[in-house]
Amino acid sequence: MAPEAGENVSSSADSFFSHPTIKECYKAYIKAVVARKNSMTGVHYFDEPAIFAWELMNEPRSVSESSAPLLQSWITEMAVHIKSVDQRHLVTIGVEGFYGLQTQEKSAVNPGEWASSLGTDFLKNSAIHDIDFASVHAYPDG
């Protein structure tokens, strides 16, 4: 591919979590947001007391349980990166709270069998060193 044509970064459905170029773009995005100056207070977000925490992504999922290690590695890498540009605020993932195939004994509380095949595992993901707290997404019936 010619350099002026760009780079093919979508070689797989999990490229967002594995392709080096995409990960570097995401890190640049994190740095831009975290270093942004609050237009109301003039305080950089990394020092802003009104910010409680950073969430890596809303409902990150991989395409299958077999690509779960890619997602786990991405969560680890991005949590470390956020901590490198902002030591003041907490970091969480943004996962829904599904249990993966590794924790079959708990998968009965998932909303369906499909949930354990998304490459996320609430316990394993939340145990990453630089993840400060866990949260779940509750969608009650009714």
DSSP string, 78-115: HHHHHHHH-SSSEEE--------GGGGGGGGGSSSGGG
Q: What is the mean pLDDT of residues 28-54?
A: 96
**Under 8 Å CB-to-CB from 11, ≥6 apart: which residues?**
19
> Of 4-8, 74-78, 138-142, where does the model show the most confidence?
74-78
Output the pLDDT for position 1: 45
Q: What is the pTM of this model?
A: 0.88
Flag whether 140 is in a domain: no
Question: Domain limits at 51?
Answer: 12-126
Q: Of 20, 57, 39, 35, whose CA–CA distance to 135 is shortest?
A: 57
Flag whether 61 is in a domain: yes
Q: Structural domain tally of the chain?
A: 1
Is pLDDT of 126 > 90?
Answer: yes
Flag whether 108 is in a domain: yes
Q: Are 107 and 99 in contact (CB under 8 A)?
A: yes
Output the pLDDT for position 116: 85
CA distance 73 to 71: 5
Return the structure tokens found at 124: 């394993």
Flag whether 4 is in a domain: no
pLDDT tens figures, 53-76:
999 999 998 877 778 899 999 999
Flag whether 87 is in a domain: yes
Flag whether 133 is in a domain: no
pLDDT band at 5 (very low <50, low <70, confident <90, very high): low
Q: Are 81 and 33 in contact (CB under 8 A)?
A: no
Instruction: Give CA angle at 77 (34, 83), nearest 5°.
Output: 35
CA distance 53 to 130: 12
Q: Are 130 and 80 in contact (CB under 8 A)?
A: yes
Flag whether 23 is in a domain: yes
Flag whether 142 is in a domain: no
Q: What is the mean pLDDT of residues 79-84?
A: 98
Q: Are 132 and 94 in contact (CB under 8 A)?
A: no
